[in-house]
A and B are shown apart, each in its own frame.
Chain A
Amino acid sequence: MKIAFIGDSYCEYVTDGSWLFFVAKEYNADIIANGIGGRHLFHAYEVLLDVVDEADYIILCISEPYRMPNKHGMHITPLHYGSEDEHLKEKLKTFHRLYYNDFISLKWHEVSQKGLLMQIDELMIQKQKKCIWFPCFENSMQGFIPKSGPIGNESLRHLPGHSDTRKNHMNLRNNQNMARLIIDIIKKENFKPREIDMKDYFEGSFKLSFLKRLL
Chain B
Amino acid sequence: MKIAFIGDSYCADWGPDSYLDIVLRHFNNAELICTGLKGMALFHSYETLFNARIEGLDEMGKILDSQRGVPVIDEADYIVFCITSADRLATRHTMPCMLNLMDYYLDPAQDVELDAFLEHYLLAPYPVKGKGKEKGRKILQTAKNFYEDLYDISYFKHIQIGLLMQIDQLMLQKKKKCIWFTCVDHLWTKKNWPEYYPHFTPKSGPYGNVALCDISMSEEHASETEQLQITKDVRYNHLNEENNLRLANLIINIIDSNDFTPKEINMKDHFEILK
What residues make up the interface of A, taking CB atoms closer than 8 Å to B?
Answer: 40, 42, 45-46, 68-72, 76, 88, 91-92, 94-95, 98-99, 102-108, 111-112, 114-116, 118-119, 122, 126
- What separation, in Å, do the CA atoms of A92 and B142 have in the docked complex? 10
B residues contacting A by CB (< 8 A) are 41, 43, 46-47, 90-93, 135, 138-139, 141-143, 145-146, 149-152, 154-155, 158-159, 161-163, 165-166, 199
Q: Which residues of chain A are within 8 angstroms of B155 by Cβ–Cβ distance?
A: 40, 42, 69
Q: Say yes or no: B162 contacts A114, CB within 8 Å.
A: yes
Q: How far is the CB of B42 from chain A (nearest CB, A)?
A: 10
> Shortest beta-carbon distance, A77 to chain B, in Å?
14
Q: Which of A68, A98, A103, A112 contacts B162 (CB 8 A)?
A: A112
Asked if A103 and B149 sit within 8 Å, CB to CB, the answer is no
In the assembled complex, which residues on chain B have CB atoms less than 8 Å from the CB atom of A92?
149
CA distance A46 to B90 in the complex (A): 22
B159 surroundings in chain A (CB, below 8 A): 42, 112, 115-116
A40 to B155, CA, bound (A): 10
Q: Report whether over half of chain A's contact residues are helix, strand or loop; otherwise say mixed.
A: helix
Say whether B142 contacts A105, CB under 8 Å.
no
B152–A70 CB distance below 8 A: yes
Complex partner residue of A103 from B41, B91, B158, B165, CB under 8 angstroms:
B91
Contacts A98-B138, A99-B142, A105-B92 given; does A115 touch B149 at CB 8 Å:
no
User: Which of B139, B150, B165 is A115 in contact with, Cβ under 8 Å?
Assistant: B165
**Contact yes or no, B163 A112, CB < 8 A:** yes
In the complex, what residue of chain A is closest to B150 when comparing beta carbons? A70
Q: Which residue of A lies closest to B165 (CB)?
A: A118
B contact residues around A126 at 8 Å (CB): 199
